[in-house]
Chains A and B, each alone.
Chain A
Amino acid sequence: AQRVTQPEKLLSVFKGAPVELKCNYSYSGSPELFWYVQYSRQRLQLLLRHISRESIKGFTADLNKGETSFHLKKPFAQEEDSAMYYCALKLAGGTSYGKLTFGQGTILTVHP
């Protein structure tokens, strides 16, 4: 069975510092990986997905199949980045629909 691990429950950085939220997964096949974010008093929403290789709000994430990781990075953190971040995995292929396996989440706090 697939599993997603986010080793840090809490992560604190100062504004302007680089930030990296770690995500490791275990799955024998080729998964699709996502980062979801929940800002204070807002709904959980998609931040980015690995297949689109895009940068959203300055965040990037590279899928490293060798290390089975999908760490989320931003070179200069902003206070508005403070939120709960979830890494999620979906089995590749059209028949896997929206069945996601989520990590436990990391609360990022960016101090002024």
Chain B
Amino acid sequence: NAGVMQNPRHLVRRRGQEARLRCSPMKGHSHVYWYRQLPEEGLKFMVYLQKENIIDESGMPKERFSAEFPKEGPSILRIQQVVRGDSAAYFCASSQAISTGELFFGEGSRLTVL
């Protein structure tokens, strides 16, 4: 089991461009979470998804950010019209059961906005 796979590991975008981050959960896991880590801060919850459903997006910025977890394929975190403040590490995690606090994390995708 390769674990949670995230790509790209590093992404550089200019202001105004779009960023797409992908996450494949661990085999057998149907719960996906996205967290963001800004410089000098801890991880902050963004969104929780199950297949084809967004369950909780309370941590997502209201504009420019969206997430999906389609029936087939990886979960995608999409950031439109990126700004410098979007520069951060974005971590995806998955879990097998709904109530566990044990999350399995990917290695993260580091977004740099020039």
With a cutoff of 8 Å between Cβ atoms, the chain B residues found around residue A110 in the complex are none
**Chain A min CB distance to B2 (Å):** 12
Check B101–A90 contact: CB distance below 8 A: yes
Beyond A93-B99, A94-B99, A104-B41, is A99–B105 a contact (Cβ under 8 Å)? Answer: no
**Chain B min CB distance to A53 (Å):** 14
Check B45–A101 contact: CB distance below 8 A: yes
Beyond A43-B107, A98-B93, A99-B33, is A32–B43 a contact (Cβ under 8 Å)? Answer: no
With a cutoff of 8 Å between Cβ atoms, the chain B residues found around residue A100 in the complex are 43, 45, 101, 103
Which of chain B's residues 59-108 have a Cβ closer than 8 Å to chain A?
91, 93, 95, 98-107
30 A-B pairs with C-beta separation under 8 A: A4-B42, A32-B101, A34-B102, A43-B4, A43-B104, A44-B91, A44-B105, A46-B102, A46-B103, A49-B101, A88-B101, A90-B101, A93-B99, A94-B98, A94-B99, A95-B99, A96-B99, A97-B31, A98-B31, A98-B48, A98-B95, A98-B103, A99-B45, A99-B48, A100-B45, A102-B35, A103-B42, A104-B41, A104-B42, A105-B42
Residues of B whose CB lies within 8 Å of any CB of A are: 3-4, 31, 33, 35, 40-45, 48, 55-56, 91, 93, 95, 98-107
